Amino acid sequence: MATTIEPRTTTTRVVDAKQGSVLLRDSQQNVRDAAETLEIGRSLFNLLDQPEREITVTLPVELDDGRVEAFTGYRVQHSRVLGPGKGGMRFHPDSDLDEVRGLAALMTWKCALLDLPFGGAKGGVVCDPSVLSTGELARITRAFANALTPMIGSREDVPAPDVNTDERMMAWFLDEYERRTGKHDPSVVTGKPIALGGIPGRGESTGRGVALITVAMLERQWIKPRNARVVIQGFGKVGSEAAKRLHELGVKVIGISDVSGGLYNPDGLDIPRIAQSIQCQPPKLLREYGGEDAQRISGEEMLSLECDVLIPAALEGVITAETAPQINAKIIVEGANGPTTAEGDRILDERGILVAPDILANAGGVVVSYFEWLQGLQGNRWTLDSVRTQLDARMRDAFEAVVSESERRKISLRQAAYVIAVERVARAVSLRWSPM
């Protein structure tokens, strides 16, 4: 008989809780469900549920006008039993500790599912990059690196880019870390420029993985990719790369959106033309596209378009109890972290809509980060063809493992993904830990 693990009062959230709290709650519930399926006892579950270390830092930074402002930064190391912590750092005005906790936990399960020798970590700085100059962003990044230096390293915790951060900021982070330590350590951070030890294909990796899982889900439903219609909510790093790759594979991308609105064409959008057009027109938003081959629609309308696959590839908490009933897709492929709340997931399941979970679908980025980490430790160079070949192989292996577990246990793909991940981490914890 499986052990029932009751929710803790400290993690219970009200319905109007901040999105970070919802993400944390849902992540913990997925782990709790997997633990019950695996009949994991309370003592071991407690070791899986709690983050290993949480760091909150104050970053005094001089702004361009001479004022000194204190920014808050977070780094949560959820688990390092399988290897050094791994996870991005985001700069966002709404970032909070609960959000970072939830995202760090997702990284633990994502790395375990893809069988990478990493644990899970995540970081965030509470700031609005849209109102900060390049110099101010550089000083915030360097201050964050300075504050985290005693707690990170290529064998301890390896940051990477995330929302509103990029390879240039990783270069600043690396430089500040090496200044503090006096050591050359390119593997302390991934997502770097190639000239500083970065790896080809890193920028496309998450979107490429999302596209691969999309095609795999279509084929599993006996839908030929060239006959499929796909809608992508979010046209940033992940959404745009997924759209480009799907277009190359002959999939009809009929809708895309970003914070400025959406574009729709039932016969398929010209993705390369749109991507090239908006790259030439700052602030690089879809509203700047002037072509007459696309109809403008709102972001809300985008979610309800009739299609074969919907890819939420922006921020978390998009598919909720309110929006899930409006979705007209056969398949959801989660390009973002935590785009579907627990309530939304239940509704999708009741409606028979298949979901490829985030810890599988968007794992391409951390897989290629692993290749970059290896490259730095070994002092060699990977080619783009090698990166793509190895990435595709790992994503296919993980997909097949999740489908097999789902069919064997007669559970959803999300439940199957968490069962595989939690079992791997639990086994490692059990081998390391013994009662005194």
Q: By the 8 A CB rule, do 38 and 426 touch?
A: yes
Task: Decide: 152 and 122 in contact? Cβ < 8 Å.
Answer: no
Burial class of residue 168, CB neighbours in 10 A (0-12, 13-18, 19+) = middle
Tell me the two tokens of residue 262.
Answer: 């959406």
Catalytic, out of 18, 86, 110, 122: 122
Q: By the 8 A CB rule, do 100 and 46 touch?
A: no
- 252 catalytic? Reply is no
Q: In angstroms, what CA-CA distances link 58 with 74, 151, 171, 287, 380?
A: 9, 15, 22, 37, 37
> Do 234 and 257 form a contact (C-beta atoms < 8 A)?
yes
286 phi and psi, to 5 degrees?
-65, -25
**Alpha-carbon distances of 350 from 73, 221, 297, 391, rounded to whole Å:** 40, 18, 28, 33
User: CA 133, CA 150: separation in Å to the nearest integer?
Assistant: 28
Which residues, at least 6 apart from 18, have a Cβ–Cβ distance to it below 8 Å? 94, 96, 98, 99
Distance (Å, whole) CA 194 – CA 251: 31
Catalytically active residues are 122
